A and B are shown apart, each in its own frame.
Chain A
Amino acid sequence: MFEKLLQDLYGAVIRENRWQLYLEGLKNTLLIAGIACLIGILIGLVVALVKFVAAARPSPLWKAAAKVMNAYTTIIRGTPIIVQLLILYNLSYFTEGLYASIIGFGINSGAYVSEIFRSGLNSIDIGQQEAGRSLGLSLGQTMKLIVLPQAVKNTLPALFNEFIALLKETSVAGYIAVRDLTKVADGIRGRTFNSTPLYLAAVVYLIMVVGLAALQKRIERRLARSDRG
């Protein structure tokens, strides 16, 4: 029994230097998740701010911008990520699946992150904005110095949820021929004829998610300094 396990592990990891394949897959997974996460935050922030300002300043230009943003979130949240990836991949600009998936996951995540930021912004009492403005700060300064720092703190749990989901979701990147961790593990499974590579992949995902959760706890604890009454 124990010998069989060792043998399977040997076949899944060491034979033919297969561990290098996992590393390559892991690198792609992290690359997609990491860059897509940054793109998502950037898009999410812009979309949420546009919607927020449009609600406060009812000019036609802002209203139109908010409409565009709404269409974006509706379309992205209303269609499956795999379909989005396939469409992007088949646009001829993205012959490389890796680039298509980075862009695709970034755009996808942006829609969810924007909703997280929007609810975070709305959770801040309007009095905070009024206090900032009454001191002579501009709307931009008030957002940057007063509203956003508080909103980000409120959104942290939901934001980390999204990042964790994003990290795991990248496992469908194999659909567009990206050699991510899942794709690689599945490929090795085809050579070893057992599921050990998949278990290994699962463990690696799990470790990353547990790490992210630990990071979340640490950041939340640091930001909680101002809460203690």
Chain B
Amino acid sequence: MIEVKNLEKTFGELKVLRGITETINDGEKVAIIGPSGSGKSTFLRCLNLLERPTGGEIWFNGQNIAAKGCDIDSVRRHMGMVFQHFNLFPHLTIRDNITLAPINLKLYTPAQAKEKADALLERIGLSDKADTYPAMLSGGQKQRVAIVRALAMNPQVMLFDEPTSALDPEMVGEVLDVIREVAEEGMTMVIVTHEMGFAREVAGRVLFMDEGLIVEQNTPDQLFGNPQNERLQSFLSKVL
């Protein structure tokens, strides 16, 4: 589904991604772990071109979206993204947060979009919050709304950028539950996370990044249980 070829990204002098080649298959759940500054968020943000790669190719549904002249807006409709800091729109109600893009991109009529939003809110147990504003929600609730806001676009793949890192510990569980549910429905997912337990449970494959490269990847059982790379070993010994 997503094929990355020799992806590079530099900020000024700093080489953040140094030639990543990776394929993410349909329906796969891939977790990306690694120390901070290893480039894992940048890699994820390159996949929907929130960061412009400085080199390499990203193929999605048969087109190189990193190429000049690619209509990135229409590509992004098929790629949902969930941010560390939720990024709900504070001036809109919860329902309007969810319906804004589908309505304005003419995916649904306003009535259809509202129906869909209400169904999604029901699913995450926040129906009673539909007409309130984001400021009235807890962090966990905000992130759950952010997830269904992305789902409302019916994306083919979901990108999660440290979705639980900004949450109070007692709210991590409720957000992971929603992500787990989405995974079980067969959604293709790429998750940058520090929740090793979650990565182990949900991901079919775990990538370990360090200094702009994927230095090791494997099934969760193998990667966590039998790490080969020295840096991965020292990383795991610190976080597990």
Interface: A228 (CB within 8 A): yes
Whether the pair B91, A133 counts as a contact (CB closer than 8 A) is: no
Q: Closest residue to A128 on the B side, CB-wise?
A: B87
Interface: A35 (CB within 8 A): no
Whether the pair A136, B135 counts as a contact (CB closer than 8 A) is: no
Interface: A169 (CB within 8 A): no
- Report how far A135 CA is from B105 CA in the complex, Å: 9
Chain B 75-113: CB-based contact to A (< 8 A → 1; otherwise 0): 011011101010111111100000011001100000000
Whether the pair B76, A135 counts as a contact (CB closer than 8 A) is: yes
Interface: A141 (CB within 8 A): yes
The number of residues on chain B lying at the interface, defined by a beta carbon within 8 Å of a beta carbon of chain A, is 30
Q: What are 20 of the A-B contact pairs (CB < 8 Å)? A: A125-B87, A128-B87, A130-B81, A130-B83, A131-B146, A133-B73, A134-B76, A134-B150, A135-B150, A135-B153, A136-B101, A136-B153, A137-B105, A145-B104, A146-B89, A146-B100, A226-B91, A226-B135, A228-B136, A229-B136
Interface: B141 (CB within 8 A): no
Interface: B50 (CB within 8 A): yes
The number of residues on chain A lying at the interface, defined by a beta carbon within 8 Å of a beta carbon of chain B, is 23
Whether the pair B90, A150 counts as a contact (CB closer than 8 A) is: yes
- Report how far A229 CA is from B73 CA in the complex, Å: 33
Whether the pair A134, B48 counts as a contact (CB closer than 8 A) is: yes
- Identify the 8 closest CB pairs spanning chains A and B, nearest first: A136-B77, A131-B87, A135-B101, A134-B81, A226-B133, A127-B87, A136-B76, A229-B135
- Report how far A133 CA is from B92 CA in the complex, Å: 16
Which B residues are in CB contact (< 8 Å) with A150?
A: 89-91
Candidates B85, B93, B134; contact of A127 at CB < 8 Å: B85
Candidates B50, B93, B105, B134; contact of A134 at CB < 8 Å: B50
Which B residues are in CB contact (< 8 Å) with A131?
A: 81, 83, 87-89, 146
- Report how far A133 CA is from B71 CA in the complex, Å: 12
Which B residues are in CB contact (< 8 Å) with A16?
A: none
Which B residues are in CB contact (< 8 Å) with A125?
A: 85, 87
Whether the pair A135, B77 counts as a contact (CB closer than 8 A) is: yes
Whether the pair A227, B101 counts as a contact (CB closer than 8 A) is: no
Which B residues are in CB contact (< 8 Å) with A227?
A: 133, 135
- Report how far A148 CA is from B217 CA in the complex, Å: 43
Interface: B74 (CB within 8 A): yes
Whether the pair B91, A137 counts as a contact (CB closer than 8 A) is: no
Residues of chain B at the chain A interface (Cβ within 8 Å) = 48, 50, 73-74, 76-77, 79-81, 83, 85, 87-93, 100-101, 104-105, 133-136, 146, 149-150, 153
Which A residues are in CB contact (< 8 Å) with B149?
A: 135
Whether the pair B91, A136 counts as a contact (CB closer than 8 A) is: no
Give min CB distance, A152 to chain B, whole Å.
Answer: 10
Candidates B83, B92, B104, B135; contact of A137 at CB < 8 Å: B104
Take A135-B150, A138-B73 as given contacts and tell me if A130 and B50 are in contact as well, using a CB distance cutoff of 8 Å: yes
Give min CB distance, B148 to chain A, whole Å.
Answer: 12
Known: A135-B105, A226-B90, A226-B135. 14 other contacts (CB 8 A): A132-B101, A133-B73, A134-B79, A134-B83, A135-B100, A135-B101, A135-B150, A135-B153, A137-B105, A138-B73, A141-B104, A145-B104, A146-B91, A228-B133
Q: Closest residue to A139 on the B side, CB-wise?
A: B73
- Report how far A184 CA is from B100 CA in the complex, Å: 52
- Report how far A227 CA is from B105 CA in the complex, Å: 27
Whether the pair B73, A137 counts as a contact (CB closer than 8 A) is: yes
Give min CB distance, B86 to chain A, whole Å.
Answer: 8
Interface: A221 (CB within 8 A): no
- Report how far A150 CA is from B60 CA in the complex, Å: 33
Which A residues are in CB contact (< 8 Å) with B101?
A: 132, 135-137
